[in-house]
């Protein structure tokens, strides 16, 4: 068999063969380091019975490494120009299926039902396009996809926000949404030099392990996230000001919001970034009782 797809020589040969040019609008940066790909796959903790889902396979470098270790791989690719390339590069792996769809618009739960058995452990493993990293992760969580873990490469800055602690500048609504559904850790730092074309930023690989149930119990999940989002409306403002500005009729109901904060034992002068997820859960439930 040919050398791994991820080697610089093989990648260049594939690109030349198809006259492929990178589209900046699709955030295409292909990995040319097999060692890093193998580390990504290792962190997904796959077995020979596992299923893997990839988003944006490019020319199949990571897809190939996934195919070597697990039972079934499906990959969502939006760029029609890459479909014939993938058919060629992944031809030695009949257990790989390419889905020519926009992941963000796809009914992913249905696709998973079509390709995987009910009892199969599924991991989402991907080198995510930087410009849509957050929407992809949030779709996986909000659609309640049945994954065991997600091992995804992203811009270091986004990774830092995902694993941030309360009271730090990186801590925000993304941190809390991910903490609610998963446990998150950075498992790998990836230099820009292992991609073509080279991105302007360094990358990290983050592993999200899905919790059996959310870390806190709340009366209404969507209201809970609304409270969180509102609390970070303007980072420099107090939580009282942010909630007053973003809640419907908030200005007229400022006294009620203040009373809710006191009831939840949260100082109204604090900023949203200082609250733990447990404090947000408590506040959300009190506000829910008074605003719904």
Domains and CATH numbers, the chain: 8-210 (3.40.50.150), 221-291 (1.10.8.100)
Q: Which of 128-137, 171-180, 239-248 has the highest mean pLDDT?
A: 171-180
What gap in Å lies between CA 181 and CA 143, rounded to an integer?
A: 12
- Average per-residue pLDDT for the chain: 94
* 3-class DSSP state of 206: strand
Dihedral of the CA atoms 240, 244, 250, 253 (nearest 10)? 30
**How much is the pLDDT for 180?**
98
**What global pTM score does this model have?**
0.93
Residue entry with tokens 């903790």: 45
Given a cut of 90, whether residue 204 has pLDDT beyond it is yes
Q: Please identify which residue in the block is written with the tokens 């989002």.
A: 229
| Res 1: pLDDT | 46
Binding residues for S-adenosyl-L-methionine: 29, 31, 56, 77, 102, 127
Name the nearest CA neighbour of 137 among 218, 32, 219, 53. Answer: 53
Element (H, E) at 21: none
**What's the token pair of residue 191?**
């230099």
39-92 pLDDT, tens digit each? 999 999 999 999 999 999 999 999 999 999 999 999 999 999 999 999 999 999
Q: What is the pLDDT of residues 89-116, one digit of tens each?
A: 999 999 999 999 999 999 999 999 999 9
Instruction: Report whether pLDDT(130) > 90.
Output: no
124, containing H or E segment: strand 122-127
Confidence of residue 292 (pLDDT cuts 50, 70, 90): confident
pLDDT at 2: 59
Orientation angle between helical segments 277-291 and 173-181, nearest 10 degrees? 100
* 37 Cβ contact partners less than 8 Å away, ≥ 6 residues apart: 6, 31, 61, 62, 65
Q: For residue range 160-189, what is the model confidence (pLDDT) as tens digits?
A: 999 999 999 999 999 999 999 999 999 999
In the chain, the percentage of residues whose pLDDT exceeds 70 is 99
Give CA–CA dist 23/265, Å, rounded. 51
Binding residue positions: 29, 31, 56, 77, 102, 127
d(CA 253, CA 266): 17
Residue given tokens 């270091």 in the structure block: 156
């Amino acid at each position: 068999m040919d050398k791994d797809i991820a080697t610089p020589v093989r990648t260049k040969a594939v690109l030349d063969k198809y006259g492929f040019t990178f589209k900046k609008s699709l955030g295409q940066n292909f990995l040319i380091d097999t060692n890093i790909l193998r580390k990504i796959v290792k962190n997904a903790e796959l077995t020979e019975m596992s299923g893997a889902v990839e988003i944006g396979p490019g020319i199949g470098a990571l897809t190939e490494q996934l195919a070597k270790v697990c039972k079934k791989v499906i990959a969502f690719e939006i760029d029609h120009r890459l479909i014939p390339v993938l058919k060629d590069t992944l031809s030695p792996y009949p257990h790989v299926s390419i889905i020519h769809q926009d992941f963000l618009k796809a009914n992913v739960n249905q696709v998973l039902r079509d390709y995987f058995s009910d009892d199969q452990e599924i991991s989402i493993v991907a080198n995510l396009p930087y410009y849509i990293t957050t929407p992809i992760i949030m779709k996986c969580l909000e659609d309640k996809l049945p994954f065991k873990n997600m091992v995804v490469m992203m811009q270091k800055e986004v990774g830092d926000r995902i694993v941030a602690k309360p009271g730090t500048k990186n801590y925000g609504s993304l941190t809390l949404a991910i903490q609610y559904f998963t446990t998150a850790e950075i498992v790998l730092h990836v230099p820009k030099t292992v991609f073509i074309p080279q991105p302007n930023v360094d990358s990290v690989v983050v592993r999200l392990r899905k919790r059996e149930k959310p870390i806190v119990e709340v009366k209404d999940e969507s209201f809970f996230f609304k409270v969180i989002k509102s609390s970070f409306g303007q980072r420099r403002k107090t939580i009282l000001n942010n909630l007053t500005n973003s809640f419907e009729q908030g200005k007229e109901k400022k006294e009620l919001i203040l009373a809710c904060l006191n009831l939840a034992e949260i100082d109204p002068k604090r900023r949203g970034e200082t609250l733990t997820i447990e404090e947000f859960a408590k506040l959300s439930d009190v506000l829910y009782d008074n605003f719904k």
